[in-house]
Amino acid sequence: MQCSRCGKCCEKTEMELLNSDIRRLATLGFKPEEFISIHEGIPRLKNVNGFCYFYNVSKRECKIYSKRPLGCRVYPVIYVEGVGPSIDKLCPMWHTVSYKEFKIKARVLRKILNRLNEERRKRLIEGER
């Protein structure tokens, strides 16, 4: 994929975070409460002024690009309920994703979703105790 660094993927993001994403970002010196917002018990990337906490608007770049969450790494491949993995056409460079890249990212996305569901179940079980 050829990224134009437009920031569309970082604008008003609702990216869910894996526990491993949170731990990785914490090792960079960020406190979870700085970059996480909780919606319906699910940790997500926090937005500041309409953009992801980690997006530098003036430089048009992610401050943590090499350590960004797994969900960000597979974008613009997204999961559409009732359809499955798809390409988000809000990304202006969606057409540069090759079929091979799509298949690889779709496989990774399914693994991410399985882990998110496992983590969500654990939180629910722990919350019942």
| Residue 5 confidence (pLDDT) | 87
pLDDT 10s digits, 70-126: 999 999 999 999 999 999 999 999 999 999 999 999 999 999 999 999 999 998 888
- Extract the tokens encoding 55: 């997006």
pLDDT 10s digits, 30-41: 999 999 999 888
The overall longest dimension of the chain from CA atoms, in Å, is 48
The SS3 of residue 38 is strand
Average predicted confidence (pLDDT) for the chain? 94
pTM of the model: 0.88
H-run or E-run covering 6: none
| CA distance linking residue 129 with residue 126, whole number of Å | 5
Per-residue pLDDT band at 129 (split at 50, 70, 90): low
- Extract the tokens encoding 6: 């437009």
| CA distance linking residue 53 with residue 115, whole number of Å | 23
